[in-house]
């Protein structure tokens, strides 16, 4: 059900409107914002939704909001459609082989973390891109991490 919801969410999503664009502008510096806007419209929309949930739970926690807005940037530049994304998730969970493109999609965590570190985004942002949806690495506040993970769920 979760995957189906995500699939239709991806197909039907619109890129952020003016209010959400302002929200992004207010929370990201220029190099980090450039990575945000390089995402597909659907991924931008997903990231804003996650960030709005985080801000609802934690208030204006700028580091956590930045992490939410940027956690999936590693997916940008991987030319893969909604069906293949869902399929990659299923194949990966089953331990079955997948195409090179699907592998790049699956490996978006390390790719995104590298892009974010290069752009000078914050440590929580880099860590969440790298380790989500897994547990937090040492030195990261577990409450913020749990909030981010649940908002992304
Ligand atoms: Fe996500």
Ligand 1 center from residue 96 Cα (angstroms): 22
Ligand 1 center from residue 128 Cα (angstroms): 10
User: At residue 120, does pLDDT exceed 70?
Assistant: yes
Does 86 reside within a domain?
Answer: no
Does 57 reside within a domain?
Answer: yes
Ligand 1 center from residue 116 Cα (angstroms): 15
Predicted pLDDT of residue 9: 60
**Interval 85-102 mean pLDDT:** 90
Name every residue whose Cβ is closer than 8 Å to that of residue 37 and which is 6 or more positions away in sequence. Answer: 24, 44
Ligand 1 center from residue 83 Cα (angstroms): 16
Ligand 1 center from residue 67 Cα (angstroms): 11
Closest to 63 (Cα-Cα) out of 123, 3, 143, 16: 123
Predicted pLDDT of residue 52: 98
Does 84 reside within a domain?
Answer: no
Closest to 26 (Cα-Cα) out of 57, 48, 49: 48
Q: How confident is the model at residue 1 (pLDDT cuts 50, 70, 90)?
A: very low
User: At residue 77, does pLDDT exceed 90?
Assistant: no
**Interval 131-152 mean pLDDT:** 95
Predicted pLDDT of residue 152: 96
User: At residue 149, does pLDDT exceed 60?
Assistant: yes
User: At residue 56, does pLDDT exceed 60?
Assistant: yes
Q: How confident is the model at residue 7 (pLDDT cuts 50, 70, 90)?
A: low
**How far, in Å, CA of 88 to CA of 67, rounded?**
24
Does 72 reside within a domain?
Answer: yes
Helix (H, G, I), strand (E, B) or coil at 14: coil
State the angle between helix axes of 41-58 and 142-152 in degrees (0 to 180), rounded to the nearest 10.
140
Return the structure tokens found at 95.
Answer: 């331990």
User: At residue 54, does pLDDT exceed 60?
Assistant: yes
Ligand 1 center from residue 97 Cα (angstroms): 23
Ligand 1 center from residue 111 Cα (angstroms): 14
Closest to 5 (Cα-Cα) out of 79, 82, 67, 75: 82
Asked if residues 24 and 49 have their Cβ atoms less than 8 Å apart, the reply is no
Ligand 1 center from residue 70 Cα (angstroms): 9
Domain that holds residue 54: 15-78+107-152
> Whole-prediction pTM value?
0.86
**How far, in Å, CA of 25 to CA of 2, rounded?**
30
Does 136 reside within a domain?
Answer: yes
Predicted pLDDT of residue 4: 56
Number of domains, the chain: 1
**How far, in Å, CA of 102 to CA of 87, rounded?**
8
Ligand 1 center from residue 132 Cα (angstroms): 8
User: At residue 113, does pLDDT exceed 70?
Assistant: yes
Does 44 reside within a domain?
Answer: yes
Does 45 reside within a domain?
Answer: yes
Ligand 1 center from residue 68 Cα (angstroms): 8
Ligand 1 center from residue 40 Cα (angstroms): 13
**Interval 6-35 mean pLDDT:** 87
Does 4 reside within a domain?
Answer: no
């Amino acid at each position: 059900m979760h995957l189906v919801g995500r699939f239709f969410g991806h197909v039907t999503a619109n890129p952020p409107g003016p209010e959400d664009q302002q929200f992004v502008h207010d929370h990201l510096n220029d190099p980090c914002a450039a990575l945000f806007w390089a995402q597909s419209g659907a991924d931008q929309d997903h990231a804003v939704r996650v960030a709005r949930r985080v801000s609802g739970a934690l208030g204006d926690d700028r580091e956590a909001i930045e992490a939410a807005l940027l956690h999936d940037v590693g997916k940008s530049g991987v030319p893969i459609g909604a069906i293949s994304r869902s399929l990659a998730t299923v194949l990966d969970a089953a331990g079955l082989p997948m195409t090179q493109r699907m592998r790049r999609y699956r490996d978006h965590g390390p790719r995104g973390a590298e892009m974010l570190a290069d752009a000078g985004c914050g440590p929580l942002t880099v860590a969440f891109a790298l380790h989500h949806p897994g547990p937090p690495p040492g030195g990261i506040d577990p409450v913020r991490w749990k909030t981010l993970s649940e908002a992304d769920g």
